Amino acid sequence: MKIQKISVEGLFGIFDHVISLNLDERITIIHGPNGFGKTAILRMLNGFFNSQYAVFRTIPFSKFRIDFDNGDAVEVLRKLDPTQINKQGVIIFDLYKSKNDKIFDSFEICEIENDFHTFQGNIGDFNDLSTSYNLRIHSIQVRGGSLAEPKWLEYIKNEEPEWLEYIKQNVNVRLIESQRLLNFVPSQDSRLHNTKPPLTTVSAYSEEIAELIQGKLTEYGTISQSLDRTFPARVVQQKSSHSITEVELRNQLIELEEKRSQLIQVGLLDQEGNSDFQIQPGSIDETTQNILSVYIKDVEKKLSVFKEVSRKIELLRRIINKKFSYSYKEMSFNKETGFVFSTNHPTSLTQKTISPTDLSSGEQHELVLLYELLFKVEPNSLVLIDEPELSLHVGWQSQFLQDLEEITKLADLDVLMATHSPDIIQDRWDLTVELKGPEI
């Protein structure tokens, strides 16, 4: 189930937009003047699929519609009561099946009259009310990681219908916002201020990739122990096979050593001592053949633990090193620290290690964006990218779409991005949708 088309009416009380996604190419680019609603559309789409419904109160609109490739559609309506001054009205979600028949178990979000401060002094009353009405507190995240004062409370008039839960479970959407260099970790209780100091996103992701590598190493060790323990018994049980030649065995051993070397290069395995061994031609008898056959299968099973993560790390490393080479920096990975950056200027006698936080703004933007695409998004998701060109040199912008196409194939993603940059688009105007103003 994929999103086929997005449309909005009355955006900011002015604009009507229709965006058809390029399902074959898997990349859609929206562009247009400032203030026409590019970011607003991304936020509304993200808000619907990630239950952040407050966005439908903060952004003025009359109707927001999502059409799917199976013929179904969802409409989000904003109904205002002219008798209620300064009220946000009701947000209604409706499902339309393929024959355009409306499903009448609508989902409504209503504003509640009580001010948040009514409950600040009596947590018991607040808990009782939140249980009765499925209350949600809405506040604004501010720079530095703390939470602003809550702006309103809302309650759900009825429980989310099954059709809405089904859609959200089967369509994954992730928004990569323009402000992506500070990692916010909201408090579990949004009424309390988060006192934890802000963490840069590159630092957070560096720690995260280190934990990922350590987890894979633990999995590798567990499988290795299991296989090593049963290796003698399996060798004895191995039936003689003449279907594989000595040359094929030698080639398989060479391929395994190449895989191991690649994993060492990207930081997933430690460099061992002299692990190379040469098998002389004609030295493989039937017994040795059986042993090597079991050994090769075991090593393939052990190394398969790293298959997916190694492909992603290698692609990230290749793209980053190609771009960072202009500033004489090189990226590698470490199971203890995650990202490792070192300088490699030809006039320098020694390499200098630098912290990820010492990268330039553009370098951090590029690293964070690519990392999120490769490691933070589930396969078959729709990724929303707001202003990928931020802080990027023109040369990097012109390369971005080519890098993105490679990533979408590896990570199995669809992308909808909003940009002002023709250097991002290059000659791929066939992927674009222009947002236009109303005809006068």
**Of the given ranges (35-44, 253-262, 303-312, 369-378), which has the lowest mean pLDDT?**
253-262
3-state secondary structure the chain: CCEEEEEEEEECCCEEEEEECCCCCCEEEEECCCCCCHHHHHHHHHHHHCCCCCHHHHCCCCEEEEEECCCCEEEEEEECCCCCCCCCCEEEEEEECCCCCEEEEEEEEEECCCCCHHHHCCHHHHHHHHHHHCCEEECCECCCCCECCCCEEEEECCCCCHHHHHHHHHCCEEEECCCCCEECCCCCCCCCCCCCCCEEHHHHHHHHHHHHHHHHHHHHHHHHHHHHHHHHHHHHHCCCCCCCCHHHHHHHHHHHHHHHHHHHHCCCCCCCCCCCCCCCCCCCCHHHHHHHHHHHHHHHHHHHHHHHHHHHHHHHHHHHHHHHHHHCEEEEEECCCEEEEEECCCCCCCCCEECHHHCCHHHHHHHHHHHHHHHCCCCCEEEEEECCCCCCCHHHHHHHHHHHHHHHHHHCEEEEEECCCHHHHCCCHHHEEECCCCCC
Report yes or no on 380 lying in a domain.
no
State how many domains the chain has. Answer: 2
pTM for the model? 0.81
pLDDT per position as a tens digit, 46-73: 999 998 888 888 899 999 999 999 999 9
On whether both 48 and 168 belong to a single domain, the answer is: yes
165 and 76 in a common domain: yes
With a pLDDT cut of 70, the percent of the chain lying above it is 78
Are 67 and 213 within one domain? no
Higher pLDDT among residues 191 and 264, named by residue: 264
Considering the domain boundaries, does residue 384 fall inside one? no
Domain boundary pick from 244, 278, 307: 307
Q: Are strands 199-200 and 182-183 parallel, antiparallel or unpaired?
A: antiparallel
Report residue 104's pLDDT band, with 50, 70 and 90 as the boundaries. Answer: low
> What are 438's two structure tokens?
């109303």
pLDDT for the residue 278: 59
Of 105-114, 142-151, 309-318, least confident by mean pLDDT is: 142-151
Q: Are residues 145 and 7 in the same domain?
A: yes
**Same domain? 153 vs 210:** no
Same domain as 7, residue 93:
yes
Do 15 and 149 fall within a single domain?
yes
62 and 158: one domain?
Answer: yes
Q: Which of residues 48 and 179 earns the better pLDDT score?
A: 48
Q: Does the pLDDT value for residue 253 go beyond 90?
A: no
| 239 has pLDDT over 80 | no
Same domain for 22 and 145, yes or no, is: yes
Which of 172, 194, 212 delimits the end of a domain? 172
Q: Look up the domain containing 244 and give its range.
A: 204-307
In a domain, 250, yes or no: yes
* Tens digit of each residue's pLDDT (9 = 90 or more) over 284-304: 667 777 888 888 899 999 999
* % residues pLDDT > 90 (the chain): 49
pLDDT at 344: 79
Same domain, 226 and 266: yes
pLDDT digits (tens, 9 = 90+) for 75-100: 999 887 666 555 567 888 999 987 66
Residue 275's pLDDT is what?
55
Q: Identify the band that residue 350 occupies on the pLDDT scale cut at 50, 70 and 90.
A: confident
Task: Report if residue 66 sits inside a domain.
Answer: yes
| 94 lies in the same domain as 158 | yes
Average pLDDT across the chain, whole number:
81
pLDDT value of position 25: 92
pLDDT at 36: 94
